[in-house]
Amino acid sequence: MPARHTPETIGFLIVDVARLLRAEFDRRTEDLGLTPAEARTLSHVARSGPVRQSVLAERIGVEAMTLSACLDRLESQQLVQRMQDPSDRRAKLVDITGAARPALDEIFSVSARMRTDMTAGIDTARVEEFSQMLMTIRSNLAAMRPECGKAGAAQWEGAAQ
């Protein structure tokens, strides 16, 4: 008898929830004057501080060229700036500008309302425990990556702060 698989495994659930979360975020941010990709990118840059484009692309889960086009649009709106990385002149760092603050305030407000809506009916302590579990899973997965090792796990832990 073949093994029976269920879609209720943790991997399937995480992917399904992530897909639904992204679609809802995109729907809620469509009137902000930014594309959903620009809103996500701006949010990631704000959370990371000055960050290398290559690291940012990895965190967002997009190809470098896709990110570059998105950053071009954000830069033309003066919401981000790119500068040479002082530790590697071939690399570029990305950071937000002061002009990004109003857009970020809206993005973070949308995100806060989404968190409230999606955790409705769940005790606050359980939501916090779940967040801690997800951070542990993320750290464990990052540590499994051959190119990252334990240093890669620390990179992701720093991104959560």
Q: Are residues 72 and 149 in the same domain?
A: no
CATH of the domain at 83: 1.10.10.10
Radius of gyration of the chain (CA): 18
Asked if residue 100 has pLDDT above 60, the reply is yes
* Percent over 70 (pLDDT), the chain: 89
User: Tens of pLDDT along 35-86?
Assistant: 999 999 999 999 988 999 989 998 888 998 999 999 999 999 999 999 999 9
CA dihedral 37, 38, 43, 44 (to 10 degrees): 70
Residue 117 lies in a domain: no
Q: Are residues 94 and 16 in the same domain?
A: yes
Number of neighbours of residue 66 by Cβ within 10 angstroms:
14
Residue 112 lies in a domain: no
Buried b / exposed e over 11-44, threshold 16 CB at 10 Å, is eeeeeeeeeeeeeebeebbeebebebbbbbbbbb
Question: Residue 148's pLDDT is what?
Answer: 57
- Taking the C-alpha atoms of residue 47 and residue 13, their distance in angstroms, rounded to an integer, is 25
Q: Are residues 101 and 131 in the same domain?
A: no
Residue 93 lies in a domain: yes
CA dihedral 58, 60, 65, 71 (to 10 degrees): -120
Instruction: Provide the residue type at 135 as one letter.
Output: M
Residue 156 lies in a domain: yes
Q: Are residues 29 and 101 in the same domain?
A: yes
- Taking the C-alpha atoms of residue 80 and residue 73, their distance in angstroms, rounded to an integer, is 9
Q: Are residues 95 and 43 in the same domain?
A: yes
Give the residue numbers spanning the domain of 130. Answer: 123-161
Residue 5 lies in a domain: no
- Taking the C-alpha atoms of residue 116 and residue 12, their distance in angstroms, rounded to an integer, is 23
Residue 115 lies in a domain: no
Q: Are residues 127 and 68 in the same domain?
A: no
**pTM of this structure:** 0.76
Q: Are residues 52 and 23 in the same domain?
A: yes
Residue 1 lies in a domain: no
Residue 3 lies in a domain: no
Question: Residue 1's pLDDT is what?
Answer: 62
Question: Residue 16's pLDDT is what?
Answer: 93
Q: Are residues 97 and 127 in the same domain?
A: no
Confidence of residue 145 (pLDDT cuts 50, 70, 90): confident
How many distinct structural domains can be found in the chain? Answer: 2
